[in-house]
Structure 1
């Protein structure tokens, strides 16, 4: 009850920010950022991702936009540069549902020879019907989790190297959702998530978002073990009327949106937690945590289960290596 009141009233938490804080507000104290930071932001062609890219660019960060729709990406680039003329925006093609496309993107990015300080795994998919990716995996899971897992693995060495050379902490942000808590341990099956026989769209989405948190939790431990100056955290952006919500047309009506409008965040409020975790000095050294409304908060017990998180990581890595016939980082 207290949490609901705090959310509705926008009461600030320990960080000094709350549910009503915008992405620009939470990054106002980031004017003294190290120069020449580079961030990859997936899903930056619309919604929270586009706002995240805009605000980071405004704070002087070079933005790399991986995009399937290059026309939309170019439109976002033009909009950002109208506001911030000196912003450096790089667009590269990617399809997060395709392992081959992700590998091609990473190869092209690494060939640029630029550093990588920030990776924001933001892109999201809510598939109402059972669909399969190019690699024959359930589409929501393939997009939200598998694609981001592979992307992270392929650029992680560059992030570790950049942090070591510059002394600037690298940061990875996995955009998750509070809906992850709907998943119970008895129904969390890796094989079922890959090839669901009894598909339920909401369950598939919740499972993928749970996997995003578990990925952050497990990888944070691995990075600590090798003393890498790179952190990884998961965030819940809040409920925002983005493209994912619009995919529910016919199920969630405009009248319901009108009634629930007081609970919905603006796009800038939705991007605030991502921007805060990515840039704020207050999150330096913080890793393996879950944030909502710009404050560390609790996630489900399953999301913090050491064994389950490690098993998920092992199964995912094994799957990708077998499919691609390559070995990922040691």
Structure 2
């Protein structure tokens, strides 16, 4: 076990050289995403900031940073970014999923899926599947581990009874903002579990890091630097562990539903069906 406690994001990566690595960070223009992006660039990683507001992404841009537009509420935007990235011919070893919204009023995306579920889970799920081929190619060519880091939240414990409302995902009468947020974060955990299972014979490392920062003043769990520490640690630490969950740079366990592999498989198939329906 690596014991670091609640430290900032830069000290846990001291001495690690990320030169030659390329990463995509969603939600990279503020908060944890921005902190993570800065540390990766500091360690020599070529970072692509995937952001909805391109102008905000260009603020503080350096030679190690590129900016690409990504609106996770639109699956068409996810496909566009993926296509544009693949067309650049750039390698890809690190995916960091930081972007998200929390406890917002009920809304439906342009793809006819509840908005929090779309942005926090479905958009990232599609992005993973579209870029996985590039990651596999890069890991094989470079003989280096790939890292997919999905920033989850302790708020996954506030989900609906049963975890995922498969039959009521768009039911406004059943909607409660915080529970819908918890549902989307549980989906992140389950996605990680199922993807890790599918990739267990391949050289890709999958991690889920806790990304809850300044959600409620009364909880005051982490500031942005502390919240980003685990993410940076998982992205750059030479010892990869697949399909695990971390907080404060140490292994932790999700709740019982977060370990339910049947639920994870069902969510994977459900997510694919939503994506298929959005294209028809």
TM interval, short-chain normalised:
over 0.9
The question of whether the paired residues in 1 share the 8 Å contact of 2:22 and 2:93 is answered with: yes
What residue number does 2:226 align with?
Answer: 269
CA contact (8 A) 1:217 1:233 kept: no
Cα distance, 1:127 vs. partner?
4.2
Summarize deviations over 1:222-257 as a string: whole Å, max 9, x none. 011xx221111211124x23xxx4xxxxxx6xxxx3
2:247 corresponding residue in structure 1: 292
Against the structure 1 CA distance between its residues 234 and 193, is the aligned structure 2 distance closer, same or farther, given a 3 Å change threshold? farther
The superposition leaves residues 4-58 of structure 1 with CA deviations (integer Å, 9 ceiling, x where unpaired) of: xxxxxxxxxx313112x11101111313x4x310000000010000000000000
Alignment length (residue pairs)? 280
Equivalent of 2:11, from 4, 15, 25? 25
1:236 matched to 2:210? The reply is yes
Q: Unmatched 5+ residue regions in structure 2?
A: none
Match of 1:159 in 2: 135
Secondary structure of the structure 2 residue equivalent to 1:152: helix
Root mean square deviation of aligned Cα = 1.6
The equivalences for 1:132-211 within 5 A come to 132-183=108-159, 186=162, 188-211=164-187
Distance in structure 2 (CA, Å) of the matches to 1:24 and 1:182: 31
Give runs of aligned pairs for residues 5-154 of structure 1, distance below 5 A: 14-19=1-6, 21-31=7-17, 33=18, 35-77=19-61, 81=62, 87-154=63-130
TM-score normalised per structure 1: 0.81
* Inter-partner Cα distance in structure 2 for 1:127 and 1:55: 29
What CA distance in whole angstroms lies between the structure 2 residues aligned with 1:196 and 1:235? 30
Q: Is the 8 A contact 2:163 2:257 kept in 1?
A: no
Please tell me whether Structure 1 or Structure 2 has the larger radius of gyration of its CA atoms: 1
**1:48-97 Cα distance to aligned partner (Å, 9 max, x none):** 000000000000000001111111001142xxx3xxxxx42111111101
Aligned to 1:319: 274
CA contact (8 A) 1:130 1:139 kept: yes
